[in-house]
Amino acid sequence: MHARDRGVHRAPVRSQAAGLLLLLLLATRLLARAPYAQGGTALLASLAAMVASLLLGGSLWWVCKRQVGGAGAAVALLLYAAAPRLVFAGSSPYAALGLFAMLYTAIGVAHALQGPRRKWPKRIVLMALLAAFTAAASPLACAVGLALALCSMLYLAEGRRSLLPALFALWIGVAALACALRTLAPAGLLHAQPIVWTPAQRPWLLHSAGTLLALAASTALWAVSRRSRYFGNTAPLAASVVLLGVAYFAAQPLWLLPYPLLFIAGVVADGLESRHRHLWVLISASACLLQLVLACTRYPGS
């Protein structure tokens, strides 16, 4: 085997190792704040929420890696793992996970509808299960997820749009049933306590300066480069705009977080393939380093 071939085979292994390392970083940060002294249901709920947060990070990494490659995925996952703890502390990670999975499963369904019918049922059933899971965690998140899914599928399911009413009737029905049954869930397990934004906690946004730097640079490139304005980049940007208001008024910042990171990953990947590659290496490295430093800094409400 040639050295170049060995490099090709080792690249996925290195990428997976980097992803696992970053998820381990997030797990360490979340475990440090687990309520060990309380024990019982509180500890179980905290650990379950941590697992959901890790699954959300893994889902973000998987989607990024499939869409834009390992470099963009690494940037997105590092910024996710180094996000302020307050983002994870008061949000429902189950709703955030379901919301993210719903949108990209719906995109998968739209693509599957262009292919043979034998590929349809699994994706349609998966979407129904995700709608039920998300509705059980948060009816609002499920409603937003279905709305975003509808917009994406109307754009992508060309020639198959006549199937959408039946599909969404199924998914909405399953979600409604899950909403009716959500009261049976153990108290505190699916429902996170809402964040109370005290004056001392509001500056947490400043502790996302690394992410904001990457987002500003990515938005600038997206605005001036036609090459970057394709569906894979524009969809998470549009979702970010929609969810910005929802996440603010519902006090659920984790619902918003994956989408700007996915947008950043896509644009960074474009920048790394452009003639300004070295500039984008500098921007992405600076943003990640700044966010890591801020993640290690304690501040009120962290």
Contact 115, 137 (CB under 8 A): no
Q: 178 and 97 share a domain?
A: yes
pLDDT, position 205: 62
pLDDT, position 296: 77
Ranking 19-33, 105-119, 126-140, 227-241 by mean pLDDT, the lowest is: 19-33
pLDDT, position 16: 63
The domain boundary residue, chosen from 161, 191, 221: 191
Confidence grade of residue 7 (pLDDT, cut at 50, 70, 90): very low
Give the percent of the chain with pLDDT over 70.
75
Residue 5, domain extent: 1-91+194-302
Q: Which tens digit of pLDDT belongs to each residue from 20-53?
A: 666 676 666 666 555 544 556 766 777 788 888 8
Q: Which tens digit of pLDDT belongs to each residue from 187-223?
A: 544 544 444 444 444 455 667 888 999 999 999 999 9
Question: Considering the chain, what is the average pLDDT of its residues?
Answer: 81
Q: 181 and 106 share a domain?
A: yes
The domain boundary residue, chosen from 163, 191, 219: 191
- Can you tell me the distance from the alpha carbon of 37 to that of 54, in angstroms, rounded to the nearest whole number? 23
CA 207 to mean position of chain CA atoms: 19
Give the percent of the chain with pLDDT over 90.
41
Q: Which tens digit of pLDDT belongs to each residue from 146-160?
A: 999 999 999 998 889
Could you give the number of structural domains in the chain? 2
Q: 112 and 29 share a domain?
A: no
- CA proximity to 33, closest of 19, 17, 18, 53: 53
Q: Both tokens of residue 249?
A: 């008024």
The domain boundary residue, chosen from 172, 191, 210: 191
pLDDT, position 8: 36
In sequence order, which residues have a C-beta less than 8 Å from that of residue 192 and are 6 or more positions away?
Answer: 49, 90, 91, 92, 93
Q: 288 and 226 share a domain?
A: yes
